[in-house]
Amino acid sequence: MNLQQRNNIHVLGSGSTTVVFAHGFGCDQNMWRFLTPVFADRYKVVLFDLVGSGRSDLSAYDTEKYSSLQGYADDLVEIIRETADSPIIFVGHSVSTMIGVLADIAAPELFALHIMVGPSPCYINDGDYIGGFTRADIESLLNALESNYLGWSSTMAPAIMGAPGKPELGEELTNSFCSTDPDIAAQFARVTFLSDNRADLPEVKTPALILQCSDDIIAPLSVGSYLHEALPNSVLRIVDNVGHCPHLSEPEACIREIRNFILDFDSALHARS
């Protein structure tokens, strides 16, 4: 199948370095609209929708392939090879940060830098690890989603977005959630919230920026600290933001932190290009 059609790929800009943006659960590539114009001025920017999301080709959705994050990671590797001529800067939000981790492990030569926005390698508390939820919390969340997806979306999307001063963003995320096929959303949610990628983190040697929000019901500050310790070459920055989508609610802060991180690794980036 044609990759452009499968993942609704769009390419902006024409720089020698490529930046690939990957959205989170219930979202699509439009969620990056406040960041992409800034980076398209200097870089080649690649936007896409995960299969089952946005305007991807729903006929490409395979329940077996996408029963784990690895299926999405395999797609990402294909997209990078199709659109980039040198190692990329990968910007992932939420679950896509771990999709990027798995893709990096499979093909590390394709990655120059990781930008992780609201990442979490595991959402469930486990001993000393605080992921933010108990197993019972997650099962309750998934059961509610599977029994009444539209009702769940109307309740959860505004809470996930946060941004109390910008209610229109909560409404936008609700509409995005509600436009997703309920069966696909249910499987993707189960794959997302039950995933555990903690053991994969030490394998990633690519420099990573962890952008954690100061108040996030999905990925608490403890998760950012854990990631910073587990990733061998990482920087942790806290964005003053209520919610899980700072690229929408605090885009200027995200742009500043990403730009500074890229500049810090500029020489290394060119050395690998």
Structure tokens at 10: 């769009």
Q: Count structural domains, the chain.
A: 1
Set 53, 94, 153, 195: catalytic member? 94
The CA distance from 35 to 42, in Å, is 12
In a domain, 37, yes or no: yes
In a domain, 28, yes or no: yes
The CATH number given to whatever domain includes residue 208 is: 3.40.50.1820
- The pLDDT value given to residue 270: 52
CA distances (Å), origin 257, targets 117, 188, 225, 239, 262: 11, 29, 17, 9, 9
Which residue is catalytic, options 216, 234, 247, 249?
A: 216
Residue 149 lies inside a defined structural domain of this protein? no
pLDDT of residue 264: 84
Q: Can 120 be counted among the known catalytic residues?
A: no
What local confidence, expressed as pLDDT, does residue 224 receive? 97
From the list 109, 238, 217, the residue with the least C-alpha distance to 170 is 217
Q: How many Cα neighbours within 13 Å face the side chain of 48?
A: 27
Show the tokens assigned to 257.
């932190």
Tens place of pLDDT per residue across the chain (273 aa): 699 999 999 999 988 899 999 999 999 999 999 999 999 999 999 999 999 999 999 999 999 999 999 999 999 999 999 999 999 999 999 999 999 999 999 999 999 999 999 999 999 999 999 999 999 999 999 999 999 999 999 999 999 999 999 999 999 999 999 899 999 999 999 999 999 999 999 999 999 999 999 999 999 999 999 999 999 999 999 999 999 999 999 999 999 999 999 988 775 545 544
Q: How many residues does the chain have?
A: 273
Which tokens in the block code for residue 2? 């044609």
CA-CA-CA-CA dihedral for 24, 14, 237, 78, to nearest 10: 40
Residue 260 phi, psi (nearest 5): -60, -40
Q: At what angle do helices 167-178 and 149-161 cross, to 10 degrees?
A: 150
DSSP 239: E
Residue of 23, 93, 244, 247 marked catalytic: 244
Coarse DSSP helix, strand, coil percentages of the chain, rounded to the nearest 5 percent? 50, 20, 30
pLDDT, residue 272, reads: 47
- Residue 265 contacts residue 272 (beta carbons within 8 Å): no
Active site residue 216: yes
Q: Is 68 domain-assigned?
A: yes
Domain-located, residue 257: yes
What is the model's pLDDT at position 273? 45
Quote the domain boundaries for residue 241: 3-123+197-272
Q: Is residue 100 part of a domain?
A: yes
Domain membership flag for residue 136: no
Please check whether residue 257 is in contact with residue 234, taking contact to mean a CB–CB distance below 8 angstroms: no
CA-CA distance, 249 to 269, in Å (whole number)? 29
| Interior/surface letters 118-156, b for 16+ CB within 10 angstroms, e for the rest | bbbbbbbbeeeebbbbeeeebeebbeebbeebeebbbeb
Compute the distance between CA of residue 50 and CA of residue 191 in angstroms, rounded to an integer: 14
